[in-house]
Amino acid sequence: MDNAIIFPGQGAQEVGMGKSLFENSESAKDIFLRADEALGFSLSKIIFEGPSEELERTINTQPAILTMSIACFEAYKSMHSLEVSEIARFCAGHSLGEYSALVASQAISLEDGVKLVRERGRLMQEACDRVDSGMAAIIGLEEDAVQEICKESNTQAANINSPGQIVISGLKSDIDNAVKIASDRGAKRAIPLKVSGAFHSYLMSSALSEMNEAIKNVTFNNSSIPLIANCSSKPMSNVSEIREELSEQLCGCVYWQRGIEHMANEGITTFYEFGPGKVLSGMVKRISENSITHSVSDYESLINLQPEN
């Protein structure tokens, strides 16, 4: 089997996502209802009806994307009567998506997953509110060149997504300086992003203590298939590795490109993206151009996708 499953992170959300799955797949509907019950309010109503301002709140966005992603995955599993180990050799998720991958690989329950990422969202927003910070995308420069710009501007590489596409984090004034330097050095584009703060940077450190406590209070299991960690880009499956990764990931860089390269080097040729949007599929094609990508984001894409051996 040469397949891997991948899950998107924050930014892929939109009002109405997953509604066709809720209406047509009992397995997907069950996921949405279980998430509502675990959280004690109707997250599914916010997902399906909005308003967008409510869905865009980080405290809601994170459990919403996880729930939607797992609904897509469970609908696919149910339709084809497959277990996760029969679908893929590896799983991975981009930032928040790493938590979806943990639920999919049975390392954590859906209920604990949605509660943990809601707390993650709350803590990250509080950290963002403490300082005027942000992120920027640097397009068209090599990783070494961007890392040098980060040193000069006191910013930090946050997401190394694909060749020539890197996101940096830092104080707003430092981000503005980094954008100017990158433009001067030939970046195709250097643009501040519309985010609430400097995710995956030292500026999240004020949230780390409470996040570690939340992680400590959750029951984890060894994952049923290896998960490629965001920070190390290497497979992990046991509980201690998972806890350490989730702690490190809050302030550390997401090395997405390296993770996809690792899987490709291990013989993975087909990537299934479960959740809103197709951003990760696009990244995969830029990293490993011969790879095949499929995505499930609604009922139509679910019924059109047949499993590959």
CB 302 within 8 A of CB 75: yes
Per-residue pLDDT, 1: 77
pLDDT digits (tens, 9 = 90+) for 283-305: 999 999 999 999 999 999 999 99
Q: Is the pLDDT of residue 308 over 80?
A: no
Per-residue pLDDT, 233: 96
Instruction: Among 192, 210, 238, identify where a domain stops.
Output: 192
What is the number of domains present in the chain? 2
The verdict on 110 and 249 lying in the same domain is yes
Q: Is the pLDDT of residue 145 over 70?
A: yes
Per-residue pLDDT, 149: 98
Tokens representing 242 are 């998972």
Q: What percent of the chain has pLDDT over 90?
A: 96
Per-residue pLDDT, 296: 96
Quick one: pLDDT band at residue 309, thresholds 50, 70, 90? low
CB 189 within 8 A of CB 137: yes
Do the domain assignments include residue 170?
yes
pTM: 0.97
CATH number at 178 reads: 3.30.70.250
Q: Check if 44 is active-site.
A: no
pLDDT digits (tens, 9 = 90+) for 255-266: 999 999 999 999
The verdict on 84 and 139 lying in the same domain is no
CB 257 within 8 A of CB 236: no
Q: Check if 95 is active-site.
A: yes
Instruction: Summarize the confidence of residues 130-142 as an average pLDDT.
Output: 96
The verdict on 143 and 285 lying in the same domain is no
Cα-based distances in Å from 54 to 47, 50, 62:
9, 6, 12
* Nearest residue to 127 via CA among 119, 115, 116, 138: 119
Domain boundaries, position 185: 132-192
CATH number at 64 reads: 3.40.366.10
What is the chain's mean pLDDT, rounded?
96
Instruction: List, in order, residues 6 or more apart from 4 with CB less than 8 Å away.
Output: 88, 89, 90, 91, 92, 228, 263, 268, 270, 271, 272
pLDDT digits (tens, 9 = 90+) for 152-204: 999 999 999 999 999 999 999 999 999 999 999 999 999 999 888 999 999 99
The active-site residue out of 95, 105, 233, 288 is 95
The verdict on 143 and 231 lying in the same domain is no
